[in-house]
Amino acid sequence: MAHKCKRCGKCCNPPRLYKEDIKRIKKLGYKEDDFIYTDNLNNNYLKNKDGWCIFLKKGKTAECKIYNFRPKICRLYPSELKNGSCIPEELAFDKYLEKKKST
C-alpha cells in the first residue's frame, strides 16, 4: 500500500544534514548558524523549535517552508514506515549510513 501524506507534520522531526543539504539550503540565503545544530559526535541536524523542524509551517495542514530545497532524507521519506505510522521510526537510509560508518 502506497503512503498517502496527510500533511500532519509528524514526520518533521529535525533530520540529519549532509553537505549537499547544507549547500542547497544556503542557496536560499540562510546562514549555517540559522539552521544547523551540531551534536557532540559532530553530526549536523536541522535546528528544531519545540521539537519540530524549524522549516515546518504549521496550520490546518503542515507545510515545509523550503520544500524544493529540503534535505535528502526528507526527499527519500517515506523509505521505510512501520505500522502505517507517519513517524519515521527507522529509515532505510539511516541503516545504510550506520553500516557505512562502522566499516
Query: 68, 55, 40, 73: which is closest to 9 by C-alpha?
Result: 55
State pTM to two decimals. 0.68
Tracing cell 507534520 back to the chain, one arrives at 9
d(CA 13, CA 5): 15
CA dist., res. 65 & res. 67, Å (int)? 6
pLDDT digit string (tens) for the chain, length 103 residues: 455 666 666 677 777 888 999 999 999 999 999 999 998 988 898 898 888 889 988 878 788 899 899 888 787 766 555 555 555 544 555 554 555 555 5
The pLDDT value recorded for residue 33 is 94
Q: What are the extents of the domains in the chain?
A: 16-78
- Name the nearest CA neighbour of 13 among 73, 60, 80: 73
